[in-house]
Structure 1
Amino acid sequence: MAKPRIGVIIGSTRPGRFGDKPAEWIAERAKATGEFEVEIVDLRDYPLPFFDEQASPAYAPSNADGAKAWQDKIASLDGYIMTAAEYNRGPTAVLKNALDYAYNEWNNKPVAFVGYGGVGGARAIEQLRLHAVELQMNPIRNGVHIVWADYAQIASGDKKLSDFAHLNDAADGMLKQFGWWTRALKTARDADKAAAKAA
Structure 2
Amino acid sequence: MNNDAISPARQLARIAAGDDRTVYDTVSIVLHWLTAALVLTQFVLAETWEWFARPTHRTMVVLHMSFGIILSAVIVLRIAWRMLPGHQVAPAVTGWTDIASRAVHHLLYALLVAEAVLGFVLRWAGDESMSFFGLLLPPPFAPFSETAHHLIEELHELNGWAIIILAGGHAAAALYHHYVLRDPVLSRMLPSVRRR
User: TM-score scaled by structure 1?
Assistant: 0.32
User: TM-score scaled by structure 2?
Assistant: 0.32
Q: Would you tell me which structure has more strand in proportion to its own residues?
A: 1
Higher relative contact order (CA 8 A, sep 6+): 2
